[in-house]
Amino acid sequence: MRVKEILRTATQAWSPAAQHPARLALGTAAQQLDASFNTSSALEIFEVDFADTSLDMKLRGTLPTSNRFHSLIWVAFDPEGSSGRLIGGSESGSVTVFSPDAILGVGEDAVIGQSHKHTGPVRALDYNRFQSNLVASGASDSEIYIWDLNNFSNPMTPGTKAQPAEDVSVVAWNSQVQHILASANPSGKAIVWDLRKNEPIIKISDHSNRMHCSGMLWHPDVATQLVLASEDDRLPVIQMWDLRFATSPLKVLESHTRGILSISWSQADPELLLSSGKDNRILCWNPNTGEVIYELPTANQWCFDVQWCPRNPALLSAASFDGRISVYSVMGGRLQQQQHSTISASFDSSDPFGTGQTLPPLQVPQPSVETTIVPPLKKPPKWVRRPVGASFAFGGKLVTFENPSVAPQQQPIARQVQVSQVTTETEFLQRSAELQAALQSGSFTSFCHDKIRSAPSDAEQDIWRFLTVNFEDEARVKFLRLLGFSKDELQRKVSDQTTALSTFRFIHYQALLVGNFEGAVDLCLNDGRYAEAILLSISGGEELLKKTQQHYLQRQTNSLISSVVTQNWRDIVQSCELDNWKEALAALLTYANPEEFAPLCDTLGSRLQAGGTEKRCLQACLCFICSGNIERLVECWTSQRDCSSPLALEDLVEKVMVLRKSIERLRNGEVCVQSSALTERLVQYSSILASQGSLTSALRYLPDCPDQVHTLIHIYICFPPSQPFAQSGSLGAPVGFMSGPSMSGPSVPPSSPPGPMMPAPPAPGFLSPTSLPGGPVPLFPVAAPAVSHLCVYIHPLPENYTPPAPITAPVMGFPAEAPVPQDRIQVPPGAPQEPSKQVRGHQAKSLQQLPAEHVGQKEIPAEHMILKTTFSSLVQRCQLAAADPQTKRKLDDASKRLESLYDKLRDQALSPSILGGLHEISRCVSARNYQQGLEVHTQVVSSSNFSEISAFMPVLKVLMTIANKLAV
């Protein structure tokens, strides 16, 4: 696309790549005239300013010259921080060195040096890329000079003049070897000079003798390769030569229909070679393949010079014989072409003939504006290709690639995509692995002891001591010891005291002698002899004993004694001082029955948590540990501590899982927690594990939750993505997979998903309880009906149980056979543990590859046949409307995965609620109300067992989404 334009008939030279902004120097072209027939000459410098949206370029400096130019170069020669040097070859044979700074108005002397050493027009100029002070020039009579800008007055020659003498049309320094120079003649001969030997080392010529050389360039990267362009209309080609095989061209680029006037090789991308010809075309070639990858939209004029911009590799300039210098971008875009009246622009509309009278305005049509969309290059250029790239994937995976540069003569190397695991939470993963090991081995006591030794505070030690006691014998007695109450220690502190008992007064004896027990009891109570009163009341009968107890309790202020006698512990828990929480908890441990123990501990813990301080919350945690209330433990712990960091969350999960295991040990069953606070923490914990690559562990900690978000997480982790590549049969392939010309994707997706790559994890939820040895009977059995927040939940396995899909799809899909997952039903300790033959046998059948054989299928029940008809019709309509291959692959995969739904319909393995939801979805599809169908889909997923619907519900959602997009 053309971005800038200058109305000049001139030779051109871009400023060096290091200069900013990019500038374009123009010298009036020799042997050419513009429409004004102006014979003056000048050297001008224009600036490329893309902030200006017009096609005009800003003129920054101009210098009148005495001669016109055949050639012009801008050398990055910077002796004192200047803008380099402009060197021009004129029609008179002079070589002049100009200062760009002086032309731009910065310096004083614009002409730094000038020499008339050449006897004819100087048509060829080039500078050395390694030593910018060395410049080569070529003129008529085979004259070639090497100029040193530091000593411009004494040029040197590369060797003896070539014979027969003829014009030198091109000189070019080698891009890789600094002492190699090449020159070319119009007759088609090229000579390569070695400046160290001052002699030619090889000559290249076309055997057809029709080569009329108009341009020659060295390969930017390969030192032995160069290209020659032919101006002859009979042979409009570009020949690529390799000096190691100089008998014939290595490659011939043929697409021009008439002679080639100019060529330019991009220094930023060796695969871009420009050529302009007399067929009014400017082509961009890939010289390695000989393919034309771009054609510039130009006017019907010859372009005698094309050049790449060193500063901006996407820009190029073209000088045409119609007096225009156009700047183009090869990145494509929109081009607006406005057709102007050239006649109107050539005359002054007010007084075109100088008569002094203004002519009436002409009624001319408005200029038309045409918008042309210019396509970009067929292949991304090298400067926009990423040499390296990286992208993070789910599960802490980092996918990286690199694009190393390869020399053209080398064989293409296979590209690799590396998939690596990134872990940032090392300590978190280590502690999680230790917890996982304890959960699997059942060594909870040693795990708790390790936590006690590493606890940072006394409060943490107390929590882990209480958690340890849950796995030991005589738990209540040990809880009392931790609270500071020990029967043995108390017995040692009590000393025998003998008190001299005075004799009862005579009146007491009289009452006893006459059998007046009630009177004797009253006398003892009035004298404070409560023990004697209780003993005497026993002899007086049950009514007197009850009356004596009430009289005694009315006189006592100690509520503990009252609670012991009346068995009313709720008053103690609700009214005791919080500083005496240990005594209250000790009383519960000693006297409370199993049905009341857990609620009373929760009540005491709630009072402590309401205290609002961190100390009270830690004391409340001990109460919740005694009661086995996991939800309240989580709520209390998080109320005073920030669990957003991975290590803080690990502290909480360790306590939760150990407490849960102690409860499962007492109940011989799995504990299902239905707390939103705990669910949120476990989902957060699973997310961190998944982000660190521990996908199996993450799935095990992910709780069962009816929330749709968590169901989607289940699907995202468990459901295998469709593989866009063929499964490799190699068992020892590397992690990275090869990408190159030899790789091809399958035309038809595999009919069955690949086998799992690892042992299938259990269904989502807490960890399946491991087998523990039968422990002793606890002193305080926790009754299930008394604790409403805990429930025993054993997941049943359906008859058509299908193991869940692997966590992530393998990089290359290595064939592997997954072991049969163990049964998830926990056998109580001491019971014979014989695996279920039905479950294990069915699992083995579903995981192994059975040989193909004809098996008769059942018919789908008539009431459910409408489901297959509706969904199959929807797939067919989408396939007919789909245009892109990706959507078609999704539909093919959906058609195969729907077979699992039809199989469940044949076996009648779906619950009534799921069947009702499927029929409602079918009605929405028939009415083409896909939004309503998606809402029903969400309700079904959120209220159903994931393992029962995971095989087909995600496919239905994809299918309805595609149908809604295609409007079928």
Taking Cα atoms as reference points, which of 60, 19, 11, 12 lies closest to residue 312?
A: 19
Same domain, 390 and 458: no
Contact 371, 336 (CB under 8 A): yes
- The closest alpha carbon to 395, from 27, 47, 713, 801, belongs to 713
Query: Which residue has better confidence, 509 or 957?
Result: 957
- Domain-located, residue 322: yes
The reply to whether 465 and 523 lie within a common domain is: no
**Pair 484, 524 in one domain:** no
Task: Please identify, among 668, 698, 717, the residue that sits at the C-terminal boundary of a domain.
Answer: 717
Domain boundary among 675, 698, 717: 717
Q: How sure is the predictor about 409, in pLDDT bands with cuts at 50, 70 and 90?
A: low
8 Å CB contact between 71 and 88: yes
Most distant CA pair in the chain: distance in Å? 165
Residue 237: predicted pLDDT? 94
The residue type of 607 is R
Q: Are 63 and 41 in contact (CB under 8 A)?
A: no
Task: Determine the average pLDDT of the residues in 441-463.
Answer: 90
Cβ atoms within 10 Å, residue 388 = 9
**What's the confidence (pLDDT) of residue 732?**
38
Q: Is residue 51 part of a domain?
A: yes
Shared domain check, 481 and 399: no
Q: Decide: 703 and 710 in contact? Cβ < 8 Å.
A: yes
Cα–Cα distance, 303 to 282 (Å, whole number): 8
DSSP state, residue 411: P
Q: Is residue 342 part of a domain?
A: no
User: Is residue 496 a part of any domain in this protein?
Assistant: no
Residues 702, 611, single domain; the answer is yes
Q: Tell me: the pLDDT tens digits for 53-66?
A: 888 888 999 999 98
Q: Is the pLDDT of residue 816 over 60?
A: no
Which of 688, 720, 722 is CA-nearest to residue 702? 688
CATH number at residue 630: 1.25.40
> What digits encode the pLDDT tens for the residues 199-256?
999 999 887 777 889 999 999 999 999 999 999 999 999 999 999 988 889 999 999 9
Mean pLDDT for 98-111 is 84
Edge-to-edge, what's the strand order for the sheet holding 85-90?
A: 69-75, 85-90, 95-98, 111-115
Average of pLDDT values for 124-139?
94
Residue 240 pairs in a beta bridge with 227, 251
Provide the 8-state DSSP code for 245: G
- pLDDT at position 554 is 62
- Residues 478, 528, single domain; the answer is no
Residue 574 pLDDT > 70: yes
Residue for token pair 């692995």: 433
Q: What is the pLDDT of residue 494?
A: 40
**Using the 8-state DSSP alphabet, how is residue 29 labeled?**
B
Residues 464 and 528 in one domain: no
Residues 240 and 134 in one domain: yes
Average pLDDT over the chain reads 76
**Phi, psi of 605, deg, nearest 5:** -65, -35
Half-sphere exposure of 233 (CA within 13 A, CB side): 4
On whether residue 378 sits in a domain, the answer given is no
Question: Domain range holding 165?
Answer: 2-336
At 798 the pLDDT is 44
Q: Which of 117-126, 169-178, 878-887 has the lowest mean pLDDT?
A: 878-887
Tell whether the model's pLDDT for residue 727 goes beyond 50: no
419 token code pair: 């998939």
Same-domain status, 36 and 107: yes
65 is a domain residue: yes
Burial class of 750 by CB neighbour count within 10 A (0 to 12, 13 to 18, 19+): middle
In a domain, 178, yes or no: yes
Per the CB < 8 A criterion, the answer to whether 426 and 693 are in contact is no
Whether the predicted pLDDT of 8 surpasses 60: yes
Q: Domain with 879 in it: what CATH number?
A: 1.20.940.10
At 615-670, the pLDDT tens digits run 889 888 999 889 888 888 898 988 888 888 999 999 999 999 999 888 888 877 77
End-to-end CA distance of the chain: 40
Q: What is the pLDDT of residue 556?
A: 54
Contacts of 907 (CB under 8 A, 6+ apart): 799, 800, 858
Give me the pLDDT at residue 196, please.
Answer: 93
For the cut 80, the answer to whether the pLDDT of residue 3 exceeds it is: yes
Same domain, 534 and 645: no
Tell me: do 322 and 186 sit in the same domain: yes
Decide if pLDDT at 759 tops 60. no
Give per-residue pLDDT as tens, 13-42: 999 998 888 999 999 988 776 666 677 889
Place of tokens 């003798």: 209
Examine the pLDDT at 845 and tell me if it is beyond 80.
no
Cβ neighbourhood burial of 621 (10 Å; 0-12, 13-18, 19+): buried
Residue in 877, 879, 894, 886 with CA at minimum distance from that of residue 968 = 877
Distance from C-alpha of 316 to C-alpha of 324, rounded to nearest angstrom: 14
How many domains does the chain divide into? 5
Claim to verify: residue 483 and residue 520 sit in the same structural domain: no
List the beta bridge partners of residue 238: 229, 253
User: What's the whole-number mean pLDDT along residues 678-686?
Assistant: 87
Q: Is 249 part of a structural domain of the chain?
A: yes
Of the two residues 219 and 758, the one the predictor is more confident about is 219
pLDDT for the residue 242: 93
Q: By the 8 A CB rule, do 116 and 88 touch?
A: no
Count of helix runs (H) and strand runs (E) in the chain: 28, 36
